[in-house]
Structure 1
Amino acid sequence: MSSTSTSPLILTPPPVPHTSGVEKALLTGVGVGLVALATVAFDADAQRAKICFWVALALISIGTLGWAWWKFGHQPAGVRQDNLWLRGSTGRGAIAWLTAVVLTGFYVVLYWFSSPDDQGNFGPLNQLVHALDPFSQALRHKPSDQWFLYGTFYTLAVLIMGGRALWKYRHSPYQRIRTASVMFFQLGFAFLLPGLLLAFQRPEYYFSYFWPLKYDYLFPGTVGYLLKDGGPGLGVFMVFWGAAISFIGTPILTYFYGKRWYCSWVCGCGGLAETAGDPYRHLSDKSRTAWRWEVRIIYTVLVLIVLLTALLWLAASGAVPALQPITDPLSRAYGFAIGSVFSGVIGVGFYPLLGSRVWCRFGCPMAAYLGLLQKHFSRFRITTNGAQCISCGNCSNVCEMGIDVKQYAQRGEPIIRAACVGCGLCSTACPRGVLNLENGPREGRYQASPLIHPDSLRILS
């Protein structure tokens, strides 16, 4: 009689993430640059601070791009999400928390402690602001201020981390073109063009931002300012451009291309999320509870800005005099709570903890507007082939909008979600080619793959 013995199951811990010597050296350069940049704010010598500022930016830029070239260029092309939850920087570890505190602190200081005094002192950011004076004079013909500092940092982050994304996703033509697009619109339309308008003594206008995201562009006060200071030609065009894109261009473009035409190709908020926020995309909460809060909050914000805009125009018309004393405080309250705290402090400061699309997913009224159009009127959808899905979960892991893509792929259901920004990373990360971005006829958008039994069809909201 023989006996059969079974060995106990031994669980081996996952391998510790390995960082090569070259990577450590390049990342050290980035770290030194960040420390040097922080010391500029406390340097009493203006000339030394200016030199240190530009040296710090050079170290950060060269170090980051060099690291991306070494990290992604010295291995076969493809999406790899290895060890993300094991790293302190991308797994909500100590480095992630430190990064979140620094980003949040910077936004708090920028918004509420950097207004200039009579001597042109910008508080804690004074030396950083004035280090950009020569550049600001060359571009805008005026000294730098806290918002020019912020725009410079923002644009530099999109360009540098965009270079990283180009290396990481170099095997995907769609990702390369999409990344180049957000880099182009941020640099050209959200940074250089507004500066050049100021140089010609015209209103600083951002042609790549529209109502309701850039909510004040259709407020009566802003419209009047643009018409007055922009002149009879340019001012009228600015007002026309903002209104036409918001109410005519957006529905038409979304009908053909979904919300991706804006959220993933043009918008500066989305551009920062897709570049600087790319290391954190896996952190987005995929639970049903998070989705319920998403729906409750984002559509509430959309309703608020629609009502506020209507109230402001009603008050400006004089039809309801009682509205005039309250509309201005209401607009300031919206600007503080939504325009500053939500979109800035939380929207970017919480990247390392909640993912890169916190603002886009939970608060952006433009995303809500585009999402309604996409879900109910657009030709865009992501088709799936459930017969080829191996349930690896790569698609869900890279979805920054909190969509559990794998559930759709397993059933062969097309993805028609209002939240989807069409970044295409789920398709790029799929090892079997299960997911495809399509702009087909509206008929059949909700039909599952014929390989899936009709009784299994279940559309998730």
Structure 2
Amino acid sequence: MKASLFQKAGMGIFIISSALLIVLLFLNKYRLTDAALERAVTDPSERKMLGTALSPMKGIAYQSGYTFNENIEEYLERENQHISSKFEITDMDIGNVISQFPGQDIQYSNEKITNAFDTTETGRFKARKLKDYTSWMNERQYESEQGLREQLENTRQNINTSIINDQGFSDYKIKALKLALTRHSSFGPVSENTTLWLVLTIGLGILGALIFILPKLKLLPGIKNDHVFHSANTGRGWIGYITGTLLIGFYVILYWYPEYMTSWMLLVDPISKVLNGHEASQWFFYGFLYTLAIGVMGVRMIIKYRHSKYHIIRTLSVIFFQVAFAFLIPEILIRLNQPSMDLKNIWPLNYTFFFDYNLSTLTSSGTIGIAMLVWGIILIIIGVPVITYFYGKRWYCSWVCGCGGLAETLGDPYRQLSDKSLKAWQIERWMVHGILVFSVIMTIGVLYTYFTGSSMLLGINTYDIRSVYGFLIGAAFAGVVGVGFYPFMGNRVWCRFGCPLAAYLGIVQRFKSRFRITTNGGQCISCGNCSTYCEMGIDVRWYAQRGQNIIRASCVGCGVCSSVCPRGVLKLENKDPKGRFGEPILIGNDSATIRS
């Protein structure tokens, strides 16, 4: 009874701290000043233009971040309209250019363009753009003015489309400016009492979670089957739906509306400045929270499975790799002015590894950058197949990976919700391997652009491919669905249906690996614990009843099926690869051997 009350107190503290964390988003106010502009924008010319465009907002105290950001966008869009009307190439401009080439059988020369425009800033811009865009037309023959006009009209459309990117505020720039200006224009309780609010939110959240978790030491280790499907949290009840909705909301804000979470960034500013010397970004806050979640829920995992040395070691392993490799080392590298990278994040999970900006950063950063590039390529070509051959995909998915680490710790209460049906397995195989193919095609396109300078491959824009992949897979699937759907579809939704690295590892594990889960079918009592708690949706009991090895490509070797088996039927083993296929299966009291 005391333990129950103690746990309720801990849960109460955690809920209060979480509610305060959400309330923080609405406590601060916003005022745009010259000082805020100077901190947010380093380029003087851009700052001057921005100050002019946003001058109506200066000095006004905004009570809502939403209104503040809406006004920023409104005034910048107005400025874009002004810039477009000032610099766009008009019909008259095209007529002036054509007038420089009278008669028939025109030989084009873009040197004559200068004569078609005046010497004002606008005229010089238009002349320069037309020269740049028509350089390939030099010395080309046109039978009439009409043919030249058609070509120049197409060029005009291309130039006018690019004006905002060149002279104004693109969508990407507006988004970045909204985040920077909101952050540096913020004032109020959070800005003035950062440490206090950090303690009252994240600090109390950690304390409450541990108060709830630690009394579990008095219970017997292992899974209890204590109404897990009847729980409002773990059985797709109202608590689970609220939890999932909050997680989905968090990822939507993180990826697409970070300007509304600047109060959270302010909370961890002191920590960020100690580690990397800079103010916290949304990604630093996310990494900090992600690491804390794995650490705190890792304590729960260790307590729950403390009867198993395997689970204790692998939980400590994912905590170590998340804290050291995914969080601390990349931040410290930033402080040392070195390229920052999670050294355990492997392509194609790290789908930006071969992006042009990353390759340029690594190759121009001296010995450390080159070493990181070589290390990443070695992991892809040699590390993955060799280590997976000896230990299966569990070496990464259950011992190293941050996505797997969060699934195994924060997501452990929801592992029984994974769909075990044959239809789900069929969907899984098509989806995960389809995404692997998508990532390979995208990477081929990215490398083609990097080495050739051309963004078009077989008529497709490679930048469009990477944008689509980043939005659909890197953000929407991996984040919003991959974590937000824990309470709805189990804790390995991303690993099972979306992770391209899991697909790559799984192909190696399925066909060329020493790893398998062996079964002693004669001891199986068909209790179903193994299938129920398989996070990857494998019907383990189906294999156990037949005494058949489990060599599924999706198996991450977490070992929970073995731990929850009351008869010791299942065992994780690394043996001769020849023994994985063609083993006898049980048929009644006899056995039969099936040769593949």
Provide the residue aligned with 1:91 in structure 2. Answer: 235
Shift of 1:77: 2.2
Provide the residue aligned with 1:118 in structure 2. Answer: none
* In structure 1, distance between residues paired with 2:464 and 2:595: 46
Q: Secondary structure at the match of 1:214?
A: coil
* Contact kept? 1:394, 1:429, Cα under 8 Å: yes
* Contact kept? 2:394, 2:556, Cα under 8 Å: yes
Shift of 1:219: 2.9
Shift of 1:218: 2.3
Q: Which of 193, 212, 226 is the matching residue for 2:348?
A: 212
Q: Secondary structure at the match of 2:579?
A: coil
Provide the residue aligned with 1:312 in structure 2. Answer: 446
Counterpart check, 1:291 vs 2:425: yes
Counterpart check, 1:146 vs 2:282: yes
Which deviations, in whole Å up to 9, do the C-alpha atoms of 1:335-378 show, x marking residues without a partner? 01100000000000000110000000000000000000000001
Shift of 1:320: 6.6
Shift of 1:65: 1.8
* In structure 1, distance between residues paired with 2:460 and 2:394: 40
Q: Which of 381, 394, 398 is the matching residue for 2:516?
A: 381
Which deviations, in whole Å up to 9, do the C-alpha atoms of 1:34-71 show, x marking residues without a partner? 1121122222212235412322222221221222211x
Q: Secondary structure at the match of 2:487?
A: helix
Counterpart check, 1:245 vs 2:379: yes
Provide the residue aligned with 2:246 in structure 1. Answer: 102
Provide the residue aligned with 1:352 in structure 2. Answer: 487
Provide the residue aligned with 2:256 in structure 1. Answer: 112
State which drifts further: 29-38 or 256-265.
29-38
* Contact kept? 2:345, 2:401, Cα under 8 Å: yes
* Contact kept? 1:411, 1:448, Cα under 8 Å: no
Shift of 1:79: 2.4
Summarize the Cα distance change of 1:320–1:36 in structure 2 as closer, same or farther, 3 Å threshold: closer
Shift of 1:315: 2.8
Shift of 1:334: 0.6
* Contact kept? 1:29, 1:63, Cα under 8 Å: yes
State which drifts further: 301-310 or 182-191.
301-310
Runs of 4+ in 1 over 4 A off after TM superposition: 449-452, 456-459
Provide the residue aligned with 1:135 in structure 2. Answer: 271
TM-score scaled by length of structure 2: 0.70
* Contact kept? 1:413, 1:447, Cα under 8 Å: no
Q: Which amino acid aligns with 1:33?
A: S
Which deviations, in whole Å up to 9, do the C-alpha atoms of 1:427-449 show, x marking residues without a partner? 01111110000000011112445
Summarize the Cα distance change of 1:457–1:62 in structure 2 as closer, same or farther, 3 Å threshold: farther
Provide the residue aligned with 1:34 in structure 2. Answer: 18
* In structure 2, distance between residues paired with 1:435 and 1:138: 47
Counterpart check, 1:425 vs 2:560: yes
Superposition pairs of residues 196-235 of structure 1, within 5 angstroms: 196-228=332-364, 231-235=365-369
Q: Which amino acid aligns with 1:57?
A: I
Summarize the Cα distance change of 1:101–1:227 in structure 2 as closer, same or farther, 3 Å threshold: same
Summarize the Cα distance change of 1:399–1:125 in structure 2 as closer, same or farther, 3 Å threshold: same
Provide the residue aligned with 1:21 in structure 2. Answer: 5
* In structure 2, distance between residues paired with 1:336 and 1:422: 30
* In structure 1, distance between residues paired with 2:247 and 2:595: 41
* Contact kept? 1:386, 1:434, Cα under 8 Å: yes
Q: Which amino acid aligns with 2:214?
A: W
* Contact kept? 1:386, 1:449, Cα under 8 Å: no
Provide the residue aligned with 1:15 in structure 2. Answer: none
* Contact kept? 2:456, 2:462, Cα under 8 Å: no
* In structure 2, distance between residues paired with 1:352 and 1:50: 32
Q: Which amino acid aligns with 1:191?
A: F
Superposition pairs of residues 390-405 of structure 1, within 5 angstroms: 390-405=525-540
* In structure 1, distance between residues paired with 2:464 and 2:498: 21
Which deviations, in whole Å up to 9, do the C-alpha atoms of 1:195-242 show, x marking residues without a partner? 0000001122110101010011123432122111xx221011010011
Q: Which amino acid aligns with 2:412?
A: D
Summarize the Cα distance change of 1:201–1:457 in structure 2 as closer, same or farther, 3 Å threshold: same
Provide the residue aligned with 1:193 in structure 2. Answer: 329
- Flag the structure with more relative contact order, 1 or 2, with Cα contacts below 8 A and sequence separation at least 6: 1
* In structure 2, distance between residues paired with 1:66 and 1:321: 55
State which drifts further: 198-207 or 218-227.
218-227
Q: Which amino acid aligns with 2:431?
A: I
Q: Which of 315, 320, 333 is the matching residue for 1:179?
A: 315
Summarize the Cα distance change of 1:85–1:457 in structure 2 as closer, same or farther, 3 Å threshold: farther
* In structure 2, distance between residues paired with 1:304 and 1:221: 20
State which drifts further: 350-359 or 213-222.
213-222
* In structure 1, distance between residues paired with 2:254 and 2:8: 31
State which drifts further: 301-310 or 213-222.
213-222
Provide the residue aligned with 2:226 in structure 1. Answer: 82
Provide the residue aligned with 2:127 in structure 1. Answer: none
% same residue: 46
Structure showing greater Rg: 2
Q: Which of 399, 404, 412 is the matching residue for 1:270?
A: 404
State which drifts further: 22-31 or 208-217.
22-31
Aligned residue-pair number: 431
* In structure 2, distance between residues paired with 1:440 and 1:325: 46
Provide the residue aligned with 1:341 in structure 2. Answer: 476
Which deviations, in whole Å up to 9, do the C-alpha atoms of 1:93-145 show, x marking residues without a partner? 1011001110000100110111xxxxxxxx22111101111110000011101
Counterpart check, 1:57 vs 2:196: no
* In structure 2, distance between residues paired with 1:214 and 1:110: 18
Q: Secondary structure at the match of 1:281?
A: helix
Shift of 1:310: 1.1
TM-score scaled by length of structure 1: 0.90
* In structure 1, distance between residues paired with 2:460 and 2:581: 49
Q: Which amino acid aligns with 1:419?
A: S
* In structure 2, distance between residues paired with 1:330 and 1:320: 14
* Contact kept? 1:413, 1:457, Cα under 8 Å: no
Q: Secondary structure at the match of 1:83?
A: coil
Shift of 1:455: 3.8
RMSD between aligned residues: 1.9
